[in-house]
Amino acid sequence: MAEPVWNIVEAFPRMASTKTILIIDDDTEIVHGLTVVLEDKGYRVVSAHDGAAGITTAERERPDLVIVDMMMPKKSGFLVLEKLKESGGGGPKVIMITANEGQRHRAYADILGVDDYLRKPFAMDALLASVARLCPLPTS
């Protein structure tokens, strides 16, 4: 008996119309919460729990958008941002999230090419607005 159509669709999770978001954060609760919300909006979400794994995942998955925490083990969000933006505009859009309130960190992120910068705790609506602006889903 032939497999139902929905099993075939599940075998190919990244369709051409789906945008991929990579979340790089060592806080598993943040990763889980963002994943649930973004998948509900129609995005494909992948994650990494430290900066080094985040860079590897970005190279493998080639995401449309990266949400990266500033302070993480193995490589900081700044090092991840620098690596993602070193190709000169060909890399993904990047939203940096941080609990740090220092203006000098924001200025450094801007110099490295961050596309948006949100301070924790942030309103989910603010994050979703930034995601929609930087990585809009195609309309059907």
Q: What is the pLDDT of residues 48-99, one digit of tens each?
A: 999 999 999 999 999 999 999 998 888 888 999 999 988 666 689 999 999 8
| Structure tokens, 86 | 């070193």
| Per-residue confidence (pLDDT) for residue 11, from 0 to 100 | 47
Q: Rounded mean pLDDT of the chain?
A: 86
Q: Is residue 74 part of a domain?
A: yes
Our CA angle for 24, 14, 96, nearest 5°, is 20
CATH of the domain at 110: 3.40.50.2300
| Per-residue confidence (pLDDT) for residue 87, from 0 to 100 | 63
| Per-residue confidence (pLDDT) for residue 140, from 0 to 100 | 60
| Per-residue confidence (pLDDT) for residue 18, from 0 to 100 | 86
What 34-40 contacts at long range (C-beta under 8 Å, 24+ apart), as own/partner pairs, is 34/67, 34/127, 37/124, 37/128, 38/131
Q: In the β-sheet with 93-98, what is the strand arrangement from edge to edge?
A: 44-48, 20-24, 65-69, 93-98, 116-119
Could you tell me the residue range of the domain that residue 73 belongs to?
A: 19-134
Please choose, from the candidates 53, 3, 4, the residue with its C-alpha nearest in 3D space to the C-alpha of residue 26: 53
Q: Is residue 2 part of a domain?
A: no
Q: Is residue 7 part of a domain?
A: no
Domain total in the chain: 1
Q: Is residue 42 part of a domain?
A: yes
| Per-residue confidence (pLDDT) for residue 88, from 0 to 100 | 62
Better-scored residue on pLDDT, 13 or 49 = 49
Query: What's the rounded mean pLDDT across residues 19-28?
Result: 95
- Asked if pLDDT for residue 3 goes beyond 60, the answer is no
Q: Is residue 63 part of a domain?
A: yes
Q: Is residue 112 part of a domain?
A: yes
% of residues, the chain, pLDDT over 90: 62
Q: Is residue 52 part of a domain?
A: yes
Please choose, from the candidates 30, 114, 43, the residue with its C-alpha nearest in 3D space to the C-alpha of residue 72: 30
| Per-residue confidence (pLDDT) for residue 89, from 0 to 100 | 61
- Rounded CA gap, 97 and 81, in Å? 12
Q: Is residue 90 part of a domain?
A: yes
